[in-house]
Structure 1
Amino acid sequence: MKQKSIFFALAATFLSVICFAQTNQTVVENFKPSTVNQPGKQYPMVNSEGRVRVQLSAPEAHKVQLDIGGVKYDLVKNDKGVWTGESAPQDPGFHYYQLNIDGASVPDPGSLYFYGAGRWGSGIEIPAEDQDFYALKDVPHGLVSENLYFSKITGTWRRCFVYTPAGYQKDTETRYPVLYLQHGSFEDETGWSAQGRANLILDNLIAAKKAVPMIIVMDNGYAYKPQDNSETNAGTHPPSAFEEVMINEIIPMIDSRYRTIADREHRAIAGLSMGANQTMRIIMNNLDKFAYYGGFSGTSNYPSSDEIDPATFLNGKFNDGNAINRQIKVFWLGLGTKEPKPFPASVGAFRNMLEKQGIKYHFYQSPGTSHEWLTWRRDLNNFAPLLFK
């Protein structure tokens, strides 16, 4: 029995060494600097398998990890105090990540910083087979401008980013339709132009004559009215005032500052995740303002997957399917095929309600993507060509 135990122990050790060697052999050594690195930085890198390799000089650190995709990967330190390591293959598209140094999570000093997950941190691009539609190309380019405004509703200074298509500055007579495009939870008004590449997607679509030239407004979905001290001290979370800000401040401001076609037939609204929830409520409460809707990875029944009663859902806004078909020219929903719970179930329940009510809608599934920016880039790329036709 003792000899058998020794044999099995040796066999297990041998197999583990072989498996470790095979695992190492599967790493393809064709790493290249990420396209969203800070200027001159070689790391982080990405290889053809989608693995992310990072490197950090931290001689005094005891443990350094790469934190990406919900998994932490240990880095190895050399005799110069430089830590290096890589992740398992990641899905194509844009991903947030961070480094963990002796328990402290920090951005990678080699990457550009993006606002997501409630913080400014690192991001990386894993090349996608269809990345051409959001690539920077030799086509006429529009302008993304920062607009500051004071909100009387929230009592705060706010800002939005506005995309104007190529030619807007030269042709001072043409007026344009407007798409109001919202970010998701723990993100902000920078997301759609930085992570989402919305301006490049529209540049490419317009240059290919696949989409109508349009203005895109990207505002911050977090808006709250001032609270008195008693409510704040009680720990109450103030209700969102974003719909009021959108209708009473943002739209009038945009129509006054830009050459818009200021009617519902030339106004669309869309959003991702939290933004899909917000924008659906906004359009259904303001059908005199919008004629097009896009919900990317979300609906206003989030997170419920129960059967939806149209007589009570959103105060009965979906009870008359024929009226909605007359009023909303494009009703569009999108979802990644790898979306986590509860999104497939909640969107599925919402679609079932639409079909029972006879409401016409478009549904798109992004192949091989989850609740992430490549899903939403593809959503926008497929949604925008349907607008204002």
Structure 2
Amino acid sequence: MNRIQLLIIVFIIGFYLPFSAQTDDKVKEDFQSSLVNQQGKEFPKVNSEGRVRVRIEAPQASNVQLDIGGVKYDLKKNDGGIWIGESAPQDEGFHYYQLNIDGASVPDPGSKYYYGAGRWGSGIEIPAQDQEFYEMKDVPHGSITENIYFSEITQDWRRNFVYLPPGYFENCEEYYPVLYLQHGSFEDETGWASQGYANLILDNLIASGKAKKMIVVMDNGYAYKPEAMQNAQDGRPKSAFEEVLIEEVIPNIDKKFRTKASRAYRAIAGLSMGANQTMRIIMNNLNLFSYYGGFSGTSNYPGNEKIDTKTFLNGAFEDSDKVNEKLKVLWLGLGTKEPEVFLKTVGDFKEMAENKGISYTFYESPKTAHEWLTWRRCLYQYAQLLFE
């Protein structure tokens, strides 16, 4: 090899090294259509890094963005008027998102729609390593029925969704315990049966023998009396949900379905806002419930100060012996990446319980925040402890 040949080789290597180094930073082109796309839709897609790629035809638009995880990502338009682009890697689990077209936020026409963040919009799944527990499997499946009722308290028609376990319609002599399961703020009664996969979680648990057969009732946590709506000045009117659940929902469910209608066979749980609501409900009605589950929250939100058991929930936790006697399970769970306010809220409640000698069970969902993967995992853990 002469000197000129050596210089050429060195030049070529030097020229290509920067490009070969950049390939490690490029987006991995192993995108697959999302599992929650509308039928026949190719986009949105997700790759192995957890990036979300979207595509939309908008030839007249001047600016299109993908809005996910609180960040907006610019899309690029090709000569055919098709906008395409992707996000940074997202955490495992379910995410709400939307498209922003010239300043207007709209759902992605390729994805299924979910109610969350106070609106119907797009959602996407970033495959989770432990998604097996909420996957569709070849096991006996329960049913979800829409139960419509008129509320004398709110003076309007309301509904809840009711999960009936496998075998409910085949064995008409069997009666079942009931879990009342609540959604979070800016969500509704569709959440647990849709993005929460509550039915699949229960189907799989029951099939594996890890949970008892149970009925699950998912109602709307937003309930207001007409006068409260009229008199509301600023912010949200006073909630009547506790009254609706105790006086209307429970009697309605016990009348229409084959329930074991006693406190020993009645549990309650909720996420975030629902954790707040359900803790208040159970501590005001220990004659009706024996099990409590708080997912990403308790009733000392926002946790600005230490809990004084003499005043907190009207002293409901002051008598620790009574609490331990009445509650067969007091369960708390949250994600390790939750916002600080939720970590502090639950942390302060745990400290109060330990100081008072109140028994509780605590679970941490690894590497998840205030999101549906956290709450799916919480339901999976909590349901296994019910009605033993």
Asked if Structure 1 and Structure 2 have the same fold, meaning a TM-score greater than 0.5 normalized by the shorter chain, the answer is yes
Q: Is the 8 A contact 1:52 1:88 kept in 2?
A: yes
Deviation at residue 376 of structure 1 after TM alignment: 0.1
Q: How far off its partner does 1:36 sit?
A: 0.4
CA distance in structure 1 between the partners assigned to 2:20 and 2:224 by the alignment = 53
Inter-CA distance 20–215: structure 2 relative to 1 (3 Å threshold) = farther
Cα 1:237–1:20 shift into 2, 3 Å: farther
Comparing 311-320 and 300-309, the one that deviates more: 300-309
Alignment correspondent of 2:242: 243
Distance in 1 (CA, whole Å) between partners of 2:144 and 2:272 is: 23
Are residue 28 (structure 1) and residue 28 (structure 2) matched?
yes
Deviation at 1:306, TM superposition (A): 1.5
What is the CA-CA distance between 1:27 and the residue it aligns to? 1.2
Partner of 2:380: 381
Q: Distance in 2 between matches of 1:236 and 1:297?
A: 23
Give the match for residue 282 of structure 1.
281
- The answer to whether the 8 Å contact 1:318/1:324 transfers is yes
Deviation at 1:25, TM superposition (A): 4.1
SS of 2:302's partner is coil
| Worse overlay, 21-30 or 55-64 | 21-30
Identity of aligned residues (%): 68
What residue number does 1:71 align with? Answer: 71
Partner of 2:308: 309
Q: CA RMSD in A?
A: 1.5
Conserved 8 A contact 1:306-1:346: no
Q: Please give the TM-score of this superposition, normalised by the length of structure 1.
A: 0.93
Quick one: distance in 2 between partners of 1:229 and 1:209?
A: 46
CA contact (8 A) 2:271 2:295 kept: yes
8 Å contact from structure 1 (residues 305, 349) kept in 2? no
1:10 equivalent in structure 2: none
Partner of 1:269: 268
Give the distance between the partners of 1:303 and 1:62, measured in 2 at CA. Answer: 42
Contact 1:335-1:366 within 8 A present in 2 as well? yes
The Cα of 1:22 is off from its aligned counterpart by 2.8
Aligned to 1:96: 96
Shift of 1:322: 1.1
* Secondary structure at 2:281 match in 1: helix
Alignment of 1:210-229 (within 5 A): 210-227=210-227
What are the equivalent positions in structure 2 for 1:10-159 lying under 5 Å apart? 22=22, 25-159=25-159
**Cα 1:88/1:175, change in 2 over 3 Å:** same
Question: C-alpha separation between the residues in 1 aligned to 2:192 and 2:166?
Answer: 18
How far apart are 1:167 and its partner, in Å? Answer: 0.3
How far apart are 1:231 and its partner, in Å?
Answer: 2.1
Q: Distance in 2 between matches of 1:147 and 1:118?
A: 22
After superposition, the C-alpha distances for 1:15-70 in whole angstroms (9 at most, x for unaligned) are xxx69983784311110000000000000000111100000000000000000000
Find the counterpart in structure 2 of residue 360 from structure 1.
Answer: 359
DSSP 3-state at the match of 1:161: strand
Q: Secondary structure at the match of 2:203?
A: helix
- Residues 337 and 368 in structure 1, CA contact (< 8 A), matched pair in contact too: yes
Q: 3-state DSSP class of the match of 2:384?
A: helix
Paired with 1:228 and 1:222, the residues of 2 have a C-alpha distance of: 12
Tell me the number of residue pairs that the alignment of Structure 1 and Structure 2 aligns: 371
Counterpart of 1:377, as a letter, is R
In structure 1, the residue matched to 2:185 is 185
Decide whether the 8 Å contact of 2:228 with 2:238 is kept in 1.
no
TM-score, normalised to structure 2, is 0.93
Q: 1:315 to 1:83 in 2, by over 3 A?
A: same
Q: Give the unaligned 5+ runs of structure 1.
A: 1-17
Are the structure 2 counterparts of residues 63 and 291 from structure 1 closer, same or farther at C-alpha, using a change threshold of 3 Å?
same
Q: Deviations over 1:289-322 (max 9, x none)?
A: 0000000000000112421111111110000111
DSSP-derived class of the 1:386 partner: coil
Report the equivalent of 1:4: none
Cα distance, 1:228–1:338 mapped onto 2, change above 3 Å: closer
- The AA in structure 2 aligned to 1:248 is E
CA distance in 1, matches of 2:270, 2:230: 34
